[in-house]
Amino acid sequence: MIEGHKAIAPPKGAAIWDIDPYAPEILAKPEAYYAELRAKGPVVFIPKYGILAVGRFAETKEVFSDYSRFVSSRGVGLDDFKHTRAWRPPSIILEVDPPEHTRTRKVMIKAMSPRVAASQRDMFMQTAETMIDDLLTRDSFDAVAEFAESFPTTVFPKAVGMKDGNPRHLVDYGAMVFNSLGPDNPIRQASLGRAPQIIAWITKACARDRLLKGGMGEMLYKAADAGEITQEEAGFLVRSFLSAGVDTTVTAIGNALYCLGRNPQEYDKLRAGPSLARACFEEVLRYTSPVHSFCRTANLDTQVSGIAIKESSKVLCVLGSANMDPDKWGDPENFRVDRKPQGHLAFGVGVHGCVGQNVARAEMDAVLTVLAQKVSRIELKREPVWRPGNAMHALDSMQIRLHHV
Ligand code: OVV
């Protein structure tokens, strides 16, 4: 039962729930688990891992954003870095707290500013046009392998300015990073099994001499030249690009095609008003939560909604559940491209909120805008298959056909 953290006793007043949130069948189809988690109470104790879980919007937001009580420096997965060695040197932006976090975050904010994202827009649009034109000639194809994975692994290395692009390694590294956040289950073991070779490749690809001038990667090394961070830290922040920038956008594109294929009337709204692309993406994020859960660790004795939380408690913050909380969203089960779900938690919230969201939005804006221009209908040819992930809610395969306008 003990993972790499201290199992805590159930707090007084917290519901005790005998469930494995990392069971493959739950990860593949989490909606009922989300609803039950919210129904059990504001804070739930899960004996299987000796952790707490929150899934109502208010408490998830509270725990996720309060970095002084609920730290990231002890890891944002089940492993508590205070007691267990991390599988890789911890991220210097994800797995740290203020004030250390503030310095590295500042450099990343600049490297992925709205201006930088806008400067990549033409490249994103051209790539989306070429890919979608090609896919329109196909009878049917796997939306995951041939679109969701291809687009980010083509445009993201270019935006970073990588000389070495290896789509397979980029996707697999993302899976390693995200699956490592869960327990030592077969999902994590399968991803980490491929670690040594991929880590060696990733580490090399982050070096300054493997980055082109003018890319987002080089900007980090320039920040090092200016004394804002060290050269070694620049390499680690490039690694953060590759950890967080590929698997997430791959998942988001697959999930968007799923939502739009399943809701043709909503897709028609997007076609009628392509300026809805941005709003549509936010609704895809809310509705599918590509990152379904991240943890925090209580760094002191505290309480949430009247439930006492002991220092060292791991708290599973179920973002996917918060994004489906009817108390917040009214009719969360309906996918509506024009909902404009302000405050959804798919990018997190607070000082650790996704620093790449401008780039993610620019990529998705290109994909959805070109789709709306060129594609009259997204036809699902078979029932989509979800891929159980310890932190990602992603499709494994989805056979689709794109129809010409
Ligand atoms: C999985 C993930 C999310 C965000 C940042 C990073 C990783 C990182 O490595 O910095």
Q: Which of 91, 108, 294 to mutate to test the pocket of ligand 1 (most atoms within 8 A of CB)?
A: 91
CB of 394 closer than 8 Å to CB of 386: yes
Contact indicator for 222, 247 with CB cutoff of 8 Å: no
CA distances (Å), origin 252, targets 211, 234, 246, 248, 272: 26, 27, 10, 6, 22
Q: How far is the CA of 170 from the centre of ligand 1 (A)?
A: 13
**Cα gap 207→205, rounded to integer Å:** 6
What is the CA(261)–ligand 1 centre distance, in A?
30
Structure tokens at 148: 């969701």
Give, using CA atoms, the residue closest to atom 10 of ligand 1: 240
pLDDT tens digits in sequence order for the chain, 405 residues long = 456 898 999 999 999 999 999 999 999 999 999 999 999 999 999 999 999 999 999 999 999 999 999 999 999 999 999 999 999 999 999 999 999 999 999 999 999 999 999 999 999 999 999 999 999 999 999 999 999 999 999 999 999 999 998 999 999 999 999 999 999 999 999 999 989 999 999 999 999 999 999 999 999 999 999 999 999 999 999 999 999 999 999 999 999 999 999 999 999 999 999 999 999 999 999 999 999 999 999 999 999 999 999 999 999 999 999 999 999 999 999 999 999 999 999 999 999 999 999 999 999 999 999 999 999 999 999 999 999 999 999 999 999 999 999
Question: Does residue 7 lie in a domain region?
Answer: no
Is 399 a domain residue?
Answer: yes
Q: Are the beta carbons of 64 and 317 closer than 8 angstroms? A: yes
**Helix/strand/coil for 307:** strand
Cβ–Cβ < 8 Å for 260, 377:
no
Cβ of 93 closer than 6 Å to ligand 1, yes or no, is yes
Is 8 a member of any domain? no
Q: What is the pTM of this model?
A: 0.98
DSSP structural state of residue 5: S
CA of 58 to the centre of ligand 1 (A): 24
User: Following CA atoms 362, 363, 367, 373 in sequence, which dihedral angle do they give, to the nearest 10 degrees?
Assistant: 30
Instruction: Report the separation in Å between the CA atom of 240 and the middle of ligand 1, taken as the mean of its atom positions.
Output: 5
Is residue 257 in some structural domain? Answer: yes
Q: Give the atom of ligand 1 at the shortest distance from the alpha carbon of 174.
A: 1
Cα 104 to ligand 1 centre (Å): 13
Q: Look at the chain and report how many structural domains it folds into.
A: 1
Residue 321, domain extent: 15-404
**Best mutation site among 177, 181, 188, 220 for ligand 1 pocket (most ligand atoms within 8 Å of CB):** 177
